[in-house]
Structures are given as structure tokens and as C-alpha cells.
């Protein structure tokens, strides 16, 4: 049996507890191997912005939250708020989180930038920080504008000035 474990395509750590990536695996055998590698990496919850086999994730002992976001699109603001709340709860339990979409650029980058904005990072800084970790992230003008609008939606959380 091959014991080699591989992480999903375009896997990157935003910080020590939150990671982003492309899809963990479309084929069942690849998905099982990738989920095992993610578990070894310490991932406790996956946020899926593209379809993922929920049973396979549960069988791997990893929590899961699905948020339907069209490719190159932006999430529904209330659904994003609920997903970010789930991420905060998981982080408070000491879990590591993976956020993924198809390739790990647009939808993943948008989600991660909004997560940073919710932590008090200015939107332009959040976009820059995500792009430093994943060049090419946050692919469309609509996604950039969504991150900026997210900061306006969460005014109490955004106190830090750009710097």
C-alpha cells in the first residue's frame, strides 16, 4: 500500500491555523488520500466553496461546512457570515481550518480576505495578505468589491487603519 500522502493542489497556510487550497479531490481514491493528508496536517474542519463528498469528509473524521458559491462569483453575505461564525467556533476549539474551492484562487481568496477583515484587517491589506500567500487570489473585480463591502457590513470589526 502506498503510504504517500499529498495535500490538495495550491495548498497554502494563511496563518498557522487557517489554510486555503484547490479542490481536495474529484476522484474518490484521490479524495480519501488527500483527506488523510489533511487530517495528518491537523485540519479539523473544511469549508467547501465547491461541491465535496460530505460522507468522505465525515468518514475521515473532519468537520465540514458547505457554502455554495459559483465559480468566479461571490458568496451570499448572510451565508458567508454563518460560515465565518463556524470557522471562528472551530478555531476557538483549537482546530485548524481548510477553505477550498475549485482551484484555490477566487472563491477561497475572497473568503479568506473576508475572514481577515472580520479580524480587523483593512480590506486592501486583507486582499494583499491573501495574495502574498496565494498569488492570483481574489480573481475578479466583483470579488475585490465584495471584500470591501464586507468591511462596511462589519464596521465594528474593522478598526485598524491601513499601514
Q: What is the DSSP string of 117-148?
A: HHTT--HHHHHHHHHHHSTT-S-SHHHHHHHH
Flag residues of the chain having pLDDT under 50. 1-4, 155-163
Q: What is the pLDDT of residue 162?
A: 40
Q: What is the pLDDT of residue 90?
A: 95
Strand, coil or helix: what is 40?
helix
Q: What is the pLDDT of residue 5?
A: 59
Which run of H or E residues covers position 63? strand 63-66
- What does the alpha-carbon distance between residue 120 and residue 115 come to, in Å, rounded to a whole number? 9
- What does the alpha-carbon distance between residue 72 and residue 102 come to, in Å, rounded to a whole number? 10
What residues form DSSP beta bridges with 99?
20, 47
Q: What is the pLDDT of residue 161?
A: 38
How far does Cα 80 stand from its chain's mean position? 11
Domains of the chain: 12-149 (3.90.190.10)
Q: What is the pLDDT of residue 111?
A: 98
Q: What is the pLDDT of residue 117?
A: 97
Active site residues: 101
Q: What is the pLDDT of residue 42?
A: 94
pTM of the model: 0.87
What residues form DSSP beta bridges with 9?
none
Amino acid at each position: 500500500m502506498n503510504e504517500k500522502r499529498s495535500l490538495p493542489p495550491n495548498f497554502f497556510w494563511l496563518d498557522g491555523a487557517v489554510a486555503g487550497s484547490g479542490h481536495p479531490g474529484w476522484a474518490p481514491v484521490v479524495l480519501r488520500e488527500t483527506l488523510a493528508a489533511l487530517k495528518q496536517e491537523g485540519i479539523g474542519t473544511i469549508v467547501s466553496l465547491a461541491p465535496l463528498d460530505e460522507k468522505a469528509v465525515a468518514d475521515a473524521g473532519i468537520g465540514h461546512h458547505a457554502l455554495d458559491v459559483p465559480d468566479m462569483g461571490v458568496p451570499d453575505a448572510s451565508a458567508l457570515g454563518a460560515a465565518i461564525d463556524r470557522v471562528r467556533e472551530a478555531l476557538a476549539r483549537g482546530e485548524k481550518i481548510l477553505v477550498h474551492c475549485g482551484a484555490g484562487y477566487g472563491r477561497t481568496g475572497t473568503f479568506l480576505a473576508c475572514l481577515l477583515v472580520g479580524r480587523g484587517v483593512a480590506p486592501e491589506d486583507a486582499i494583499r495578505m491573501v495574495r502574498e500567500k496565494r498569488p492570483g487570489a481574489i480573481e475578479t473585480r466583483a470579488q475585490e468589491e465584495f471584500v470591501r463591502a464586507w468591511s462596511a457590513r462589519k464596521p465594528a470589526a474593522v478598526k485598524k487603519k491601513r499601514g
